Amino acid sequence: MVISDTHKYIYVELPLTGSTAVSQELCELYEGKKILKKHARYHEFLKTASPEKQKYFCFSNQRNPMDAIVSEFLKIKNNHKGRYTNPKEWKENGGTILKEKRILYDKIQKTNMTFEQYFKKYFKLPYDNWSSLDHEKFDFIIRFENIQNDFGEALKRLNIQSKRELPQINKTSFKEDYWKYYTPEIQKRALFVFGPFLKKWGYEFPGEWHSNGPGTLSLFLFSILGSIRKIYWKNKASRSTPASSLEKQSH
């Protein structure tokens, strides 16, 4: 999380949405400073923020989850920057890589798991993430798909003159267009898993899938599980959670 008392903004970092690039840019060029944990949630900020700071312009990111989980899978599978085998990068040693991500890395390596196999194993219920807690109330949302222009728009709304284009950081290697990873064998499940979230945030499935939108059961489960997940996310300490663990968060 990043705050600027000079420009009166608070930036909430949502994992897998380009937030690292935005937070670094804010701290380097736009009088931002890091507070709380990297992926701290807005309600954690509100617990200690003064009435004045609670009125700061609040913005964050969002991303099509179909793209996000492909990126996460490839980063784990390809040992992105050596983080999954370097003890210095592990959470218990002061890094950011959690134990469950390292366990997942080992499973993927031992079985040579494909994305199709990964998706079938870990994604069975309608998808959601903790943006459901507060993002709809924020002053502005940067879309990962339009991150360069949207970051500029956020600065414009803050009456801040942009100093340069937003640098690209932490890019996923060996990645094609995300929809190519969704084979015909898993497209029906993808419609069930992602449909409600995509509808909520105005995303669409690839046109060639000929989707009519999420089904009734998917929408119902998304709503019911949403209430449970919000309780979990509000009471669970903020951390970098792998997308695959969302199945655990549904119970």
Name the average pLDDT for the chain.
Answer: 90
Closest listed residue to residue 208, CA positions, set 182, 240, 235, 236: 182
pLDDT > 80? residue 211 = yes
pLDDT > 90? residue 247 = no
| Predicted pLDDT at 238 | 56
| Predicted pLDDT at 89 | 83
The model's pLDDT over 36-47, given as tens digits with 9 standing for 90+, comes to 988 899 999 999
| Predicted pLDDT at 174 | 67
CA separation for the pair 84, 97 (Å, rounded): 7
- Mapping DSSP to helix (H, G, I), strand (E, B) and coil, where does residue 31 land? coil
What value does the mean pLDDT take over residues 49-63? 97
Judging by DSSP bridges, how do beta strands 2-4 and 33-34 pair with one another?
antiparallel
The model's pLDDT over 143-194, given as tens digits with 9 standing for 90+, comes to 999 999 999 999 999 999 999 999 987 677 667 789 999 999 999 999 999 9
| Predicted pLDDT at 125 | 97
Q: Give me the count of residues in the chain.
A: 251
Name the one residue in this structure whose structure tokens are 């000929």: 210
| pTM greater than 0.85 | yes
| Predicted pLDDT at 173 | 64
Whether the CB-CB separation of 208 and 10 falls below 8 Å is answered with: no
**Which contacts qualify for 105-113: CB closer than 8 Å, 24 or more apart?**
105/76, 105/77, 105/79, 108/73, 108/76, 108/77, 109/77, 113/77
Looking at the chain, the number of H-run helices and the number of E-run strands are 8, 5
Gap between the terminal Cα atoms of the chain: 28
Closest listed residue to residue 196, CA positions, set 126, 95, 140: 126
What value does the mean pLDDT take over residues 133-138? 96
Task: Give 8-28 as a DSSP string.
Answer: TEEE---TTTTHHHHHHHHHH
Name the one residue in this structure whose structure tokens are 């969302």: 246
The torsion defined by the Cα of 207, 210, 214 and 218, in degrees rounded to 10, comes to -110
The model's pLDDT over 26-38, given as tens digits with 9 standing for 90+, comes to 999 999 999 998 8
